[in-house]
Structure 1
Amino acid sequence: MDSIILYLINIIQEQYKQICYLLLFICKYIPLKQWAFDDSHSPEYQKFKVDKLPTVYTPATFDYQLYIAYIKHRYGYLIKPIKRRSESDIPKDLVCPRCGAPHDYLYKNNGAKGQFMCKVCEELFNSDNIYKHTIELRCPYCGNILVPKKERKFFRIHKCTNRKCSYYLTNKRKLPPDLKPEEKHKYKLHYIYREFTMDFFRMDLHSLPSNATGFSFKKFSPHILGLVLTYHVNLKLSTRQTSHALKEVHGIDISHTTVASYAMTAACVIKPFVDTYDYKPSNILSADETYIKKLGKKHYVWIIMDACKKSILGYQVSDNRSVGPCILAMRMAFEKFKVFPSKLLKFIADGYSAYPLAAQYIKAQKGWDFDVTQVIGLTNDDAVSTEFRWVKQVVERLNRTFKMSYRITNGYNSDEGALYGVSLWVAYYNFLRPHPHNYWKPLNEIDEFEKVGNMPAKWIILIRLGQQKILEMQKSSAVSGNTCS
């Protein structure tokens, strides 16, 4: 019996050794975290990356006399005033901004360039010292104070100018050996931080525009409004084609300007209901941006959709491709979660740097911590693209579906027209369009639709639900206003 136990113990020990060898082999030769793309190591790709957050430094001041006494008591060393070989030109009223030491303890650190150093606390300072500010941003790699360099529409760019920073030296070593000095500006070498100057979580996403009007129907009935939306949105007819179809098929003489006015106002009323509907989203979201035309100029549509349930959760229209509208679209999508899933969320996007930058801002403002997985390229050259390519293709297919409806417009004439034109299409896509994913039924089925059997009546129900939602929002804002007062 004892021999059998010893035999089994020897087998267990041999298996343990083999497991250790295999773990050592895996750790040495197989990376546990693969790069999303092979070019991630190259300096060309560095400019599309978002650096980690800086160190927030709050300077603290103290009294130099107490510090001198402490050093003498603790170490037996007395810090004496500077013995100058020649007459000093340091101003008599100059004191150290950190410890308050007088000019007898100060000397010039870089000659006539204006920087001074304190012998007591060894602080470097100049006329614009850090103690004039409440907080300062420092580089997380070298601790150097970040210098504001550029002003953008939504943020301010801070840069670490330290030439001995480890981040700078690491990126500098990655430069091609045959690179010309005048081409060095094409690569991102220094640490960069973007400080947002706008609070995107205080902006109202559901406000009505000033030109939104009610439906008086002095000449036409609600059923004709439903017909207008059915022809214009469902059947992808332009405003002139919709006017022509109503006249030829139904004998209704309505101008194309009235069609456009009806569509605009219907979109304004339906939008709050569509944006605040409880979609019960899954934990896999996909994001992408496409372009449209407004008065012949390129604008962008940001779309974030549920990759599993196919519903559009967030969207924005902007005249630029910066991070601001990206944050608003992500905020609109994330507000659909009753409890934010944090690290359980799979957020898939392309390689554009606005998405990780927006994620960094949202984490700092709301504490919503999630990772952005970026699928780069058109082929599955890495493990990340192989695993998440299907998610990216879902939103790409959605963009093509949107473009089929957008082509009839030949572009928009205003920013509000573009936004509410897109929102009207989102309402149709989420609530009225039959999808093969849901057995050729709408993605989100509403109980009120069971009482009607035609599309114009469904549009009228959507408008009524939108009006109810607007009244709820107005009552809640009135109650909150009275509570604050």
Structure 2
Amino acid sequence: MFDDSRSPEYQKFKVDKLPIILKFEKQDYQFLLQYYEFLYSKKIKAVQRRNGKTIPEDTFCPRCSAPHHYIYDNNDGKGQYQCKVCGQTFNTGEIVKRPLVLTCPYCGHTLVPKKDRKHFRVHKCTNKKCSYYLSNLRKLPKDLAPEDKHKYKLHYIYREFSIDFFKMDLHALPRWATNFKFRRQNAHVMGLCLTYHVNLGLSLRKTAQALKEVHNINISHTMVANYARTASVVIKPFIDTYDYQHSNSLAADETYIKVRGVKGYVWFIMDVISRSILGYQVSDTRATGPCILAMRMAFEKFKKFPGEKLEFVADGYSAYPLASQQFMIQENKNFDITQVIGLTNDDPVSTKYRPFKQKIERLNRTFKASYRVTCDYGSDDGATYGVGLWVAYYNFLRPHKLHQWKRSLNDVDMLRKAENMPAKWQLLIFLGQQTILTMQKNKG
């Protein structure tokens, strides 16, 4: 067996606990002077100047408005000052710009921004006497060369996201969304296109060829693509807001796709009990942002968030614990991520939650079986509507083994009464249109 056939080991990743946030609040120096006198029975004296040095009389503390009598010259005339009353450090004429300060939860040292990434900034505690740093330093191998210390995580690190993924609209219609206008064909032909293209996994050109050879319908592959794209936009609100009979056990995973030959990613979050896909996202990166969006889509299905009762299983990728931390910060949703690492059950956690991971991996294989016939997607929009249609088919139209292949995962009365698959696609589009009208009415 070749070495590359073995599953690579995940790099150990640890998400540090949240930093201490010190908010900037205005103070009154007169109140602070009286409070200090009340506590210690003595007054705060004015600063005693030495060697005839003075500071401008119009210098005031930006935090407590203390006059120049209580202001230190903090760096020998170079423009930095410190207030003796509240301890605020500031520069000449500075209005404090930072609304908050991030400090290390272990030593209280102010975090220093070190790296700017695409969607976040890395803050680091540089205090050499920090207990977190000293503890990690003691855990290093005794025979480790000094130049190899950078391979280990020693300092406390916090990632501050620059984009708020919690304010993005998950149900906004894309700009290219259009209405159905049948000039040459009709709704039944559109249902046939979706049946061949989505259910049977035929490419756009093969779908057009099948309609010509089986039904004697002349249609171009471009028109098939237009039908599929518009149907995906109309159906998406229905499948995203449907009241799934879900449980508190979720599994998540990401898989690779190709868009014009460039690697992309699809994120899936499924209910392990009902097998329904609750969250999905197509992205060009494997960053934390798309993971947050997929998790938001899944958590919207909960009428009441289960909190710590939620079982959320994923692999060892670092995006999942980082996303969990952001949910705690932004929405106060506290839940644990259970990471199943590797292919063998080497620990009790992997043994218990391996079935969760196997089900989400089986979902990936089912998706890839329909995706591979297209080789890759031709555009970002094509990948988005292709995955959206497949999720609709998987959740509402595809017979599933869970029900002995007799019905789909989610049984809708209107779809059950349809005589054939093209009719079911038409009804699914109708349900999507009704959902859009309801959302627009509620928004208005």
Q: TM-score, normalised by structure 2?
A: 0.88
1:35-85 CA distance string (max 9 Å, x none): xxxx99xxx62xx22222221213455566665666566545565556666
The equivalent residue for 2:398 is: 433
Give the Å deviation of 1:344. Answer: 1.1
State which of 148, 152, 162 in structure 1 corresponds to 2:117.
152
- After TM superposition, the structure 1 stretch with the greater mean CA deviation from structure 2, 419-428 or 363-372, is 363-372
Query: Could you tell me whether the CA contact under 8 Å between 1:155 and 1:196 is conserved in 2?
Result: yes
Question: Secondary structure of the equivalent of 1:193?
Answer: strand
The equivalent residue for 2:439 is: 473
State which of 203, 214, 227 in structure 2 corresponds to 1:249.
214
Q: Decide which structure has greater helix share.
A: 1
1:315 equivalent to 2:280? Answer yes
Counterpart code for 1:147: V
In the alignment, the residues of structure 1 paired with residue 74 and residue 437 of structure 2 have an alpha-carbon distance, to the nearest angstrom, of 68
The equivalent residue for 1:408 is: 373
Change (3 A) 1:425 1:105: closer
In the alignment, the residues of structure 2 paired with residue 64 and residue 222 of structure 1 have an alpha-carbon distance, to the nearest angstrom, of 75
Question: Secondary structure of the equivalent of 1:373?
Answer: strand
In the alignment, the residues of structure 2 paired with residue 97 and residue 73 of structure 1 have an alpha-carbon distance, to the nearest angstrom, of 24
State which of 402, 409, 419 in structure 2 corresponds to 1:453.
419
Give the Å deviation of 1:396. Answer: 0.7
Considering only CA atoms, is the larger Rg found in Structure 1 or Structure 2? 1
The equivalent residue for 2:184 is: 219
1:125 equivalent to 2:71? Answer no
Change (3 A) 1:323 1:66: closer
Give the Å deviation of 1:198. Answer: 2.8
Change (3 A) 1:242 1:69: closer
State which of 377, 380, 390 in structure 1 corresponds to 2:342.
377
Give the Å deviation of 1:95. Answer: 5.4
In the alignment, the residues of structure 2 paired with residue 410 and residue 326 of structure 1 have an alpha-carbon distance, to the nearest angstrom, of 25
Structure 2: gaps (5+ residues) = 1-8
Query: Could you tell me whether the CA contact under 8 Å between 1:351 and 1:374 is conserved in 2?
Result: yes
- After TM superposition, the structure 1 stretch with the greater mean CA deviation from structure 2, 83-92 or 166-175, is 83-92
1:98-155 CA distance string (max 9 Å, x none): 552636762547x79976655555x362539895433222221112222333333333
Structure 1: gaps (5+ residues) = 1-38, 479-485
1:135 equivalent to 2:100? Answer yes
Change (3 A) 1:101 1:186: farther
In the alignment, the residues of structure 1 paired with residue 401 and residue 275 of structure 2 have an alpha-carbon distance, to the nearest angstrom, of 11
Give the Å deviation of 1:451. Answer: 2.2
Counterpart code for 2:235: I
In the alignment, the residues of structure 2 paired with residue 266 and residue 190 of structure 1 have an alpha-carbon distance, to the nearest angstrom, of 51
The equivalent residue for 1:35 is: none
Change (3 A) 1:456 1:181: same
Aligned length: 433
Question: Secondary structure of the equivalent of 1:425?
Answer: helix
Give the Å deviation of 1:182. Answer: 3.5
In the alignment, the residues of structure 2 paired with residue 148 and residue 130 of structure 1 have an alpha-carbon distance, to the nearest angstrom, of 21
1:136-183 CA distance string (max 9 Å, x none): 222211122223333333333322222222222222222333333343
State which of 282, 288, 299 in structure 1 corresponds to 2:253.
288
Change (3 A) 1:244 1:59: closer
- After TM superposition, the structure 1 stretch with the greater mean CA deviation from structure 2, 78-87 or 241-250, is 78-87
Query: Could you tell me whether the CA contact under 8 Å between 2:314 and 2:340 is conserved in 1?
Result: yes
Query: Could you tell me whether the CA contact under 8 Å between 2:196 and 2:202 is conserved in 1?
Result: yes
In the alignment, the residues of structure 1 paired with residue 293 and residue 70 of structure 2 have an alpha-carbon distance, to the nearest angstrom, of 55
Change (3 A) 1:106 1:183: same
Counterpart code for 1:127: N
Give the Å deviation of 1:389. Answer: 1.0
State which of 55, 72, 76 in structure 2 corresponds to 1:106.
72
Change (3 A) 1:297 1:82: same
Query: Could you tell me whether the CA contact under 8 Å between 1:280 and 1:337 is conserved in 2?
Result: no
Change (3 A) 1:256 1:82: closer
Question: Secondary structure of the equivalent of 1:313?
Answer: strand
What is the identity percentage for the equivalent residue pairs of Structure 1 and Structure 2? 62
Query: Could you tell me whether the CA contact under 8 Å between 2:56 and 2:68 is conserved in 1?
Result: no
In the alignment, the residues of structure 1 paired with residue 262 and residue 414 of structure 2 have an alpha-carbon distance, to the nearest angstrom, of 41
- After TM superposition, the structure 1 stretch with the greater mean CA deviation from structure 2, 70-79 or 218-227, is 70-79
1:386-443 CA distance string (max 9 Å, x none): 1111101110111111111111222122222111100000011111111111121210
The equivalent residue for 2:385 is: 420
Q: Give matches, 1:239-388, under 5 Å.
A: 239-388=204-353
Query: Could you tell me whether the CA contact under 8 Å between 1:95 and 1:103 is conserved in 2?
Result: no
Give the Å deviation of 1:299. Answer: 0.9
In the alignment, the residues of structure 1 paired with residue 78 and residue 352 of structure 2 have an alpha-carbon distance, to the nearest angstrom, of 56
Change (3 A) 1:102 1:242: same
In the alignment, the residues of structure 1 paired with residue 102 and residue 199 of structure 2 have an alpha-carbon distance, to the nearest angstrom, of 52
Q: TM-score, normalised by structure 1?
A: 0.81
Give the Å deviation of 1:385. Answer: 0.9
The equivalent residue for 2:169 is: 204
In the alignment, the residues of structure 2 paired with residue 55 and residue 283 of structure 1 have an alpha-carbon distance, to the nearest angstrom, of 31
